[in-house]
Structure 1
Amino acid sequence: MTSGDYEPLPTSSTLPTYPPLPGPPFRPRLHKKQITLILILKYVLGGCASLVICHFVLIGAFPNSSYTKYTTNFRNSHVEQSSYASAAASVQGVLDSIDSSAGQPGTFFRDSFPLKTMIAFWELAEKEVKARSLDTCNGQLGRELIDAYHSSQLGYCVPPGDSLTDFIIDPIRNDSRAPHLNTEDVNLVEGTSIFCSTVHRAEFSRWWPYPAAPCVSKNLRTIPNSQSERKFGAAGCEITEEGIKLNNEMGGERFLGTDTEGVAPENDQCKERIERTLLVIGRQDQWNPFHVAEDLITTLVSVFVAVQTAPALITSRVQLVFVEGFGMDQNHFTPLWDRIGAWAPRRLSLDPWIEGTCLTNAIHSVGAGASLLSAMGVGTSYSCASTITWAASHYYRHLFGLLPPSLSLPANLLESYHDNERPRRPINVLWLSRAKLDDYAQKHNDWSNWRDVRHITNEPELIQKFKTELEAMCQESLKSREFGQTGCVYEDATEIPEGWTLTSPETLKDTDPLPIRFMSLDPTVHALENQIHYVGHSTILVSSHGGALGLSLFLPPGDGTVIELQVQNVVGNYHFQHMAKECGHNYELLHINRQVDVNQVWDSVKRWIGKIAISG
C-alpha cells in the first residue's frame, strides 16, 4: 500500500466477531429505586474523608511507627522510581542546551548531571550508527549488552522483607528540590540494599570472558583506615542466596560485594550522610592513554547498567570517588576526570572516609578486567561498531568543547550529514610520536625489551617525508586537479600550531583551496588539554603501536582514519583496531620494521587523503 492509499473503514458485515465472554450469561437484576446516585456518592465521599483524617492522625501521633515508614517509602518509591523511559525522556533537551564553548581551555566547566548527559549522547550515538548502517554484531557491544546485564539483576544484600527484584533509591534530602534533613535525624537511616547486574549469566552475553557485576547501593557504611579502600559496611541487610552464588562465580574479579562486611547493630548509626549520587571508580592506570580509555568506556557501561536498575538516578547530581591510590601526582588525566560531577572527585588516598560516613546512593564500577576493547580477545580481529564506545567518545569530547556535527554545524551543512555526505573540510594529518618518551626511558633506567622492539630508529626521516610530500602535493594540485579547481594549500602546524583549527567546514568557501595540515605531537611533553585539542580536530591519525593511540578515543566518531604501524613483535594485537571500528573510523594496519620504509607509510597517508577529499 502506498502512502496515498487508505484502508476502507469496516462495515457491519466486515466487522470481526468475537466468542462470548466466559461464564454464565448476564441477566440484569431488578431493584426498587431506593438506592440513588446521590446516595452512593454521599457514602463514598464520607468514607474517603474519614480514611484521610485517620491517615494523618496516625502519622502525627506515631511518627516512628512501621505504618508511617511504609507509607513514606511507598510514596517515595512512586515519586522517585520513575521508569527509565520517562527519566531519559528529556535527553534531546540536554543536547540542545550544551554550550560548545563550555569545555574550552581556560573555561571552568563541570557536568553536574553526567548520568543524564551520558544517556543523551548514547541515544545520539545509536541514531548515528543506524544512519551509517554500520555492523554492530547484533548489538554485542551496545544496548543489547546492557539489557543482558540488566536481565540478570539480583538483590545481593537486602533487608529482610524487602524486594529481591526492585531497587528503590534513597531520596537525597538536601537537594534543592527536597526538604533539608535535620541534624538530629542523620542517624535515622534504613538498612543497606545492594543490587548487582551480571554479564555472565545471560545467554546473550555469555561469551564475555570474565565475570563482571556492576552494582547499585543505598545506605552503605564506609570502613575508614582499612587495608582496602574498597571495603564497605552493610547494616541490616542479609546476603541473599543469589548473592552468595555471585560471590563464588566472580572468583578473583574485584567488585563491591567481594569486600562487603556486616556492621554490628551498635555501629550502624550514621554520623554523616553524603547526600548525592557517588560513582565509585576502581582504577587500572593513571597515565597510559589506552588503559585510561578502557576505564572511561567501562564507566559508561556501569552507568548504563545502573540507571536501568535505578532510573531515578538519571536526574541526580553526581560525584566521582577514586579508590586504589588514585592521587594527583603523576596523574595525566586529572583535568578530564575533574570535569565530571558537580563536585571535585574524592580521592580516598588523599581524602579518606571518616568514621560513621554513610553513602546515600552509590554506583560501583566494575573492577579491572576485560573492557569493551578487549572483551572479544586481544588476538581476535573484528569490525563491530559499538554505540557505547561511540557514546563515550562523544561524552568525553564534549567535556573539552568538542561537539558532534549534529550539534555544532549550521543547518545548511547539517543537511548533507543527513544524506550521509560530509561537507568539504580541512584535512589534518597528525603523527603521534614516541621519541621523547623513549629518550626519557633510556636516560632514566626505564628501558625494556618491550620498549626497544617498538622503537622507530628513523622517525625524523619519516616526519620530514610527510612534510616534504604534502607540500609538494599541494604545489602541484592546481595542475593535477586532484583536489578540484581550487587545489590544496599545505600548512605546517608543527611550526604554526594555532592554525590547526582556524578553518572549519562552515568557514571554508568553495573558492578556497583545501587546507591540508600536518602536525607531529609527542604526548609526553603536552598537557592533556593540548593532546585532546589536536587529536579531537584530526582527520588522519598515524602512530606506531603504543598507549598513545588510546587518544584515538577523542577522534570525532564516525569521521576519522587511524593508521597503525606494527613491528613483527606486536603482530596479532588488535586493541586499536577494535577501538577504531567501535567508533566507526577507517582503519589500516601497516607492518613495519624498526627502520621504517617511509615511502610505504607516505603512500598510505596519500591514499587516505585522496579518499577523504573525494568524500567531503
Structure 2
Amino acid sequence: MSSTAYEPLPTSSSPSYPPLPGPPYRLERHKSQITPALVLKYVLGGCGCLVILHYVIIGAFPRSSYARYSTDSQTPIDNEAYATAAATAQGVLDRLDPSAGQPGTFFRDSFPLKTMLAFWDLAEKEVQARGLDTCNGQLSRELVNAYHSSELAYCTPTGKDEETFQPTTIRTSSHSPHWDPSQPVEGTTIFCSPVQRSSFSNWWPYPAAPCVATNLRTIPNEARRFRSAGCDVTAEGSRLDDEMGSERFLGSDTDKIVLDDVAAGCKERIERTMLVIGRQDQWNPFHVAEDLITTLVSAFIATQTAPALIDTRVQLVFVEGFGMDTNHFTPLWDRMGAWAPRRLSLDPWTEGTCLTNTIHSVGAGASLLSAMGVGRSYSCASTITWAASHYYRHLFGLLPPSLSLPENLLDSHHASARPRRPINVLWLSRAKLDNYAQKHNDWSNWRDVRHITNEPELIRKFHTELAALCEDSKTTGEFGETGCIYEDAQEVPETWALTSPAMVTSDLDPLPIRFASLDPTVHALETQIHYVGHTTILVSSHGGALGLSLFLPPGDGTLIELQVENVAGNYHFEHMAKEMGHNYEVLGIKRNVDVDQVWESVRRWIWKVAQSG
C-alpha cells in the first residue's frame, strides 16, 4: 500500500475525494468539427442499426421470403472441421490417466430393493459354489423365510379382513398421473413379521418385528410416531404388542384415529416407497455395518410381504438425529434411493403429509453380527451379509470379483488358466485417532489398553520385509519363475486399484505385492472404501475401524486382527469375516507389538493367497 497521507476532508455538504493519480487534466469546450473520424463513427453506427433491423425482421416474420432467403444463404457447417475438432478432443481424453478414475461421477440407486435382491441371488450362488457352511441358513434366506412365515395383519381398515398385504398403487414414472387431493385416501394397513414366533428363529435374542404399511399419516415435528387412520388393531396385533414389550416397532409408535378425523386428511401424498431407518450410528464403522446389514434384512422381509414394492422408487427416512455435518457416512446413505434421504431432525414432517407405502426397519438391539452372541466364536457364512457387502461396494463402483474377470476367463473350462492377481496388504491405523483423543480430553482406559506404542516400527517392518521378500523371490522361486515386485502404494497410491487379474498380463510378469497404511480418522469415506475395497489382506488392531471390512471383496479377502488381552474373547470381527467367507486369523499381542510375530503371519497369508491364484 502507498504511504501517501490524504488531507482531511473539507467540511461541505457534498463529499470530496483524494485526487486521481496522474497529471491534472483540464476539460476544454470546443466547437464540433467534421473530421474523417466523425464520418466513420456515423457510418459504422448506421451499419450496426441495419444489422439489428435484419435480425428483428427475421425473428418477427420467420416465414417471409426475406427471412427464407437470408437463412438459406448462410454458410453451412464445416463437417470436416467439426470432425477434426472431435478427433482432437478424443486425443486429449486418450492421454488422460485411466487410473485416476472417472471424474465427476454421480451415483444414486433409484431402485435399491431390486438391486439388493439381485446381489442376494449372486451371494447365494457364490456361497454354494464354495461349499461354505451356512449353519442351516440361520443367518441367510431361511432366517428371512422364518420372519415371513410369522407375518400377521397388525392393523386393517375397518370392516376388512385382509389376508395379504397389498401396496397402494403409486406413480412409477413422470408420465403417471399425480395423486388428486380431491380424492379420498384409503385407511391405513399395517403388516408385521415377528422373528420369535417361528421355531426356526425363536433363538433370536430380542423381540423384533419389521413392518410394512400403506397410507400412514405423519405427525408434524414427530420423528418416530405416526397415525393410522381408519384401521383396527387385530387380535394378533394386540398379542404382538405384548410380545414386543419395551422394544419399539411401528405398532407401538402408531396412534389410531378415525378416518373422518381432521388429522386423517392428506394435503400431500408421498408417492414412493419410504424405507424408515430406526437406529443410526454416525461414526463407528462397525455399528454402521450393523445398521447397513439390518437395513437389508428389513428390505428382504418387506419384498416377501409385498413383491410389488420391488419395482418402486425408494427414499430413506432417518428418524434419529442424523445430521449432515456430524455424520461420517452421509456419502454412503445418500447413494441409496431415487431421492436424497429425508432427515427428520432437519426436515420434519408437516401437517397433512401421508405416506403411500412404508417399510419400517427395526434395530431391536441385535444384528446379524451380534445376534448369536459376541462372546461366542462361530464360522457360519451368511448370504445376507455377503449380499450386503456386494450391494454397498456396488454403490461405490466396486464390482464383485466374480463379475470383474476377463470375459475369456469366466468359462469354467478356463479356470486353471486364470492369471495371478496382485496382492494388496493394508494396515488400518489408530494412531491419529489416539493422538486426537489424548489432546482433546477424550482418553479413556478402553482406548489406553488398545493403544499400540510402537506402530511406526511395525509399519517399517512391513516395508522392509516386503521389499526384501520380492528382491529374493526369483532366487527362492516362492512366487514362480518371475517372482514378485514390491510397490509402495503410499508413494504411488493410484496403483492400489489395479487388483484385477487382468493387471498381471502374462505369466512372464512378476506378481505385484503392494503395501499401504490408512488412518480412517483423516480420510473421506470414499477414500476409506476405495482402499479397503481393493485390499487382499487387511491387518489392524481390534477397534471400530475393522467394521470397514464389510467392503472387502466377499469370499476373496483375509483379515488379521490384533487383540490385546483385555479384548480377547470378543468375536465381532471374526463373525464379519466368516459371514462373508474371508480368511481370518487373530493374534494375541501386547501394547508393544512383537513386530516379528505380526510379520510372520502376514508373510504366511501372502504365500497362501499367491498359491490360490
The answer on 1:574 being equivalent to 2:586 is no
Cα distance in 2 between the residues matched to 1:270 and 1:447: 51
How far is the alpha carbon of 1:587 from its aligned partner? 0.2
How many Å separate the matches in 1 of 2:416 and 2:328? 37
For the 8 Å contact 1:253–1:367, the answer to whether it is kept is no
Question: Identity percentage over the alignment?
Answer: 77
Q: CA deviation at 1:266?
A: 2.9
Once the two structures are TM-superposed, the CA of residue 420 in structure 1 deviates from its matched residue by: 9.0
**Alpha-carbon distance in 1 for matches of 2:284, 2:595:** 27
* 8 Å contact kept, 1:220–1:232: yes
Deviations 1:330-370 (A, max 9, x none): 21100010000000100000000001100000000012410
Answer yes or no: is 1:498 the counterpart of 2:499: no
**Among candidates 587, 595, 606, match of residue 592 of structure 2:** 595
Letter in 2 for 1:473: L
Change (3 A) 1:219 1:418: farther
User: CA separation of 1:584/1:177 partners in 2, compared to 1, >3 Å: closer, same or farther?
Assistant: farther
* Comparing 306-315 and 276-285, the one that deviates more: 276-285
Partner amino acid for 1:544? S
Find 2:128's aligned residue among 114, 127, 130: 130
TM value normalised by structure 2: 0.81
Q: 1:391 aligns with which of 372, 387, 390?
A: 387
Task: Give the Cα–Cα distance (whole angstroms) in 2 for the partners of residues 420 and 578 of structure 1.
Answer: 31
Map of 1:430 onto structure 2: 426
Name the CA distance, whole Å, in 2 between partners of 1:175 and 1:356: 24
Deviations 1:36-77 (A, max 9, x none): xxxxxxxxxxxxxxxxxxxxxxxxxxxxxxxxxxxxxxxxxx
Q: Give secondary structure in 1 for the equivalent of 2:501.
A: coil
Aligned mates of 1:224, 1:418 — CA distance in 2: 61
Matching residue within 241, 244, 251 for 2:245: 251
The AA in structure 1 aligned to 2:147 is: Y
Cα distance in structure 2, aligned partners of 1:250 and 1:498? 51
- Check if 1:201 corresponds to 2:202: no
Structure 1: gaps of 5 or more residues? 1-99
The match for 1:27 is none
Using the size of structure 1 for normalisation, the TM-score is 0.81
1:607 aligns with 2:604: yes
Give the whole-Å Cα distance in 1 for the aligned partners of 2:398 and 2:375: 32
Q: Deviations over 1:376-419 (max 9, x none)?
A: 00101000000000000000000011001332222222235995
**Cα offsets for 1:206-251 (capped at 9, x unmatched):** 111111111000000001123xx11000000011111111111112
Distance 2:158 2:230 in 1: 8
Pick closer, same or farther for the CA change 1:357–1:104 going to 2, 3 Å. farther
Taking the aligned partners of 1:421 and 1:233, their CA distance within structure 2 comes to 61
What is the match of residue 28 of structure 1? none
Going from structure 1 to structure 2, the CA distance change for 1:277 and 1:526 (only over 3 Å counts) comes to: same
Q: Quick check: 1:239 aligned with 2:237?
A: no
Tell me the equivalent position of 2:12: none
Give the Cα–Cα distance (whole angstroms) in 1 for the partners of residues 606 and 551 of structure 2: 20
Name the SS of the counterpart of 1:302 in structure 2: helix
Structure 2 stretches of 5 or more lacking a match? 1-97
User: Which residue in 2 is equivalent to 1:271?
Assistant: 267
Partner of 1:287: 283
Q: What is the number of residues matched between the two proteins?
A: 512
Displacement of 1:164: 4.1
| Structure 1 residue 477 displacement after superposition | 0.3
SS in 2 for 1:506: helix
CA deviations 1:132-152 (Å, max 9, x no partner) are: 000000000111000000000
Aligned to 1:513, which of 510, 513, 527? 510
Deviations 1:487-542 (A, max 9, x none): 00001111221111235311312111000000000000000000000000000000
SS at match of 1:184: coil
| Distance in 2 between residues matched to 1:115 and 1:123, nearest whole Å | 13
Q: Tell me if the contact between 2:172 and 2:312 (Cα under 8 Å) persists in the aligned partners.
A: no
- 1:263: how far off? 2.3
Deviation at 1:254, TM superposition (A): 1.8
Q: Structure 2 CA distance, aligned partners of 1:449 and 1:107?
A: 43
Tell me how large the CA RMSD over aligned residues is. Answer: 1.7
Distance 1:426 1:255, change over 3 A: same
CA contact (8 A) 1:255 1:367 kept: no
Specify the SS of the correspondent of 1:313. Answer: helix
Q: Which residue of 1 aligns with 2:529?
A: 532
Per mean C-alpha deviation after superposition, the further-off stretch among 305-314 and 367-376 is 367-376
Output the CA distance in 1 between the equivalents of 2:498 and 2:152: 53
The structure whose Rg is larger is: 2
Within a 5 Å distance, the mapping from 1:98-109 to structure 2 comes to 106-109=104-107
In 1, distance between residues paired with 2:262 and 2:501? 66
Q: Which of 156, 166, 185 is the aligned partner of 2:164?
A: 166
- Cα distance in 1 between the residues matched to 2:286 and 2:372: 17
1:175-194 aligned within 5 A: 175-176=173-174, 178-185=176-183, 188-194=184-190
| Residue identity matched to 2:539 | V
